[in-house]
Chain A
Amino acid sequence: MSGSQAVLELDRVEYSYRRNTALRGVSLQLKPGEVVAVTGASGCGKSTLLHCAAGILTPDAGTIQVDGQDVAALREEERARLRRTKVGIVLQFGQLVPDLPLIDNVALPLLLDGHERGEAHLSAMNWLEQVGIADDADAVPTELSGGQTQRAAVARALVTGPSVVLADEPTGSLDSQGGQELLDVLLQAARYRGAALLMVTHDNLVASSADREIRLRDGLIQHEVSL
């Protein structure tokens, strides 16, 4: 697949922590609107893969392209802007700003990108509605359940209209029912936006909702299957 067709393309990405090699040359592509689950045992490199794709970690070798742009070739501020506008991230515990009302949490990526406050709040409100928690717009994260804060994290990931949403164990902090509901919200939100979704998960029920499963083992792709 060429880079122009893929919204996210990793080519032979390698990454090592001090004495531990986490990725040994992983390549993958995500097409627009595609849902891909990355699975594997703890320590197989799946979260490292997501953090490299998100630009949180810089690979030791290999290339990452988002919407056809080579991330490594960009200047730091261009890279940060690409991360803010083209890539949405949902982490296991939401990682919302604790003292900020949900509407401000969700509007934050737009405000950082220079959008006018009223416009950013309107978009944030639309997304809070889309994920079913518009009534909680004024609440701060500490007043809400894990499921509600994860829904807000989904809204925040999608508010900038990203091409790619990266989710690291998005249901990992929730019980079975809450996880199921959050997964439905995440899938619907990504489909509504037309974004590709890359989910790192150890949960087979989450993996079953993907179009494709990529299983890692010891930093390498063990297998890749269409679902």
Chain B
Amino acid sequence: MATAELVLGLLSGGPAHGYDVKRGHDAWFPDSRPLAFGQVYTTLGRLERDGLVEVVDKTSGGGPDRTVYALTSKGRDHLTDWLNDPVPPAWGSADEVLRKLVAAVRTGGDAAGFLARQRANHLRRIRELRETPADDDPTSPLVREYIVAHLDADLRWLDTALDRISEQRGTRS
């Protein structure tokens, strides 16, 4: 799960401390499992170590320390790259596609461009699977058909998402 990139996305609107990041994540994905505080702080620590975020404020006014984190330019570039890259189509990849889509919409990224590239990735994978030569293994066609059916379902959702994004863009303009 791309928690690190989602944290970068959540910081793209401006500096925030861990608690805000956790609340922001849970607001973006109200139907999924809440992000654990431990995971937020571990992730922020790792991102700071890698130079993707930096501490911009640390106050201790009688209570516990409040560390405020901000995106670095390296972190912003990393986030942009992540939002632009389609997900390799595989089992469960739709979850990752959804995370990227939500993050792209929330951060003002090119959601339609991402969806178009993702659609192309899915179509290429279907073609590869369809062109795989038959072999003697009795289960391989079952597995291939399963994956193709799921990719096809993902594609139908991607189409709906593309239309919805276009409608929202049309309404705003």
Task: Determine if B27 is an interface residue (Cβ-Cβ < 8 Å).
Answer: no
Shortest beta-carbon distance from A25 to chain B in Å = 16
**B163 near A208: Cβ-Cβ < 8 Å:** no
Q: A227 touches which one: B124, B130, B163 (CB < 8 A)? A: B124
* Count, chain A residues at interface, CB 8 A: 16
Task: Determine if A2 is an interface residue (Cβ-Cβ < 8 Å).
Answer: no
Instruction: Provide the A200-226 mask, 1 if CB < 8 A to any CB of B, else 0.
Output: 000011011110010101000011011
**A204 near B126: Cβ-Cβ < 8 Å:** yes
**B120 near A227: Cβ-Cβ < 8 Å:** yes
Task: Determine if B152 is an interface residue (Cβ-Cβ < 8 Å).
Answer: yes
Report Cα–Cα, A209/B126, bound state, in Å.
9
**B120 near A226: Cβ-Cβ < 8 Å:** yes
- Classify the interface of chain B: helix, strand, loop or mixed: helix
Report Cα–Cα, A105/B52, bound state, in Å.
67
Given the known interface contacts A41-B159, A213-B120, A213-B123, the answer about A223 and B112 at a Cβ–Cβ threshold of 8 Å is: yes
**B155 near A204: Cβ-Cβ < 8 Å:** yes
**A225 near B130: Cβ-Cβ < 8 Å:** no
Residue from B119, B122, B151, B166 whose CB has the most chain A CB atoms within 10 Å: B119
Report Cα–Cα, A225/B130, bound state, in Å.
20
What residues of chain A lie closer than 8 Å to B151, measured between beta carbons? Answer: 204
* A window 130-176: CB within 8 A of B: none
* B window 139-156: CB within 8 A of A: 148, 151-152, 155-156
Report Cα–Cα, A213/B116, bound state, in Å.
10
**B152 near A204: Cβ-Cβ < 8 Å:** yes
**A205 near B152: Cβ-Cβ < 8 Å:** yes
- 15 further interface pairs, Cβ-Cβ under 8 Å (given A204-B126, A208-B123): A41-B159, A204-B151, A205-B152, A208-B124, A208-B126, A209-B130, A210-B123, A213-B120, A213-B123, A222-B162, A223-B113, A223-B162, A225-B116, A227-B123, A227-B124
Residues in chain B within 8 A of chain A (CB atoms): 112-113, 116-117, 119-120, 122-124, 126-127, 130, 148, 151-152, 155-156, 159, 162-163, 166
Name the 10 nearest CB pairs between A and B, nearest first. A223-B116, A225-B120, A208-B126, A208-B123, A208-B127, A204-B155, A204-B152, A227-B123, A227-B124, A225-B116
Pull 30 A–B residue pairs with CB atoms less than 8 Å apart, ordered by A.
A41-B163, A204-B122, A204-B123, A204-B126, A204-B151, A204-B155, A204-B156, A205-B126, A205-B130, A205-B148, A207-B123, A208-B124, A208-B126, A208-B127, A209-B127, A209-B130, A215-B116, A215-B119, A215-B162, A217-B162, A217-B163, A217-B166, A222-B166, A223-B112, A223-B116, A223-B119, A225-B119, A226-B120, A227-B120, A227-B127
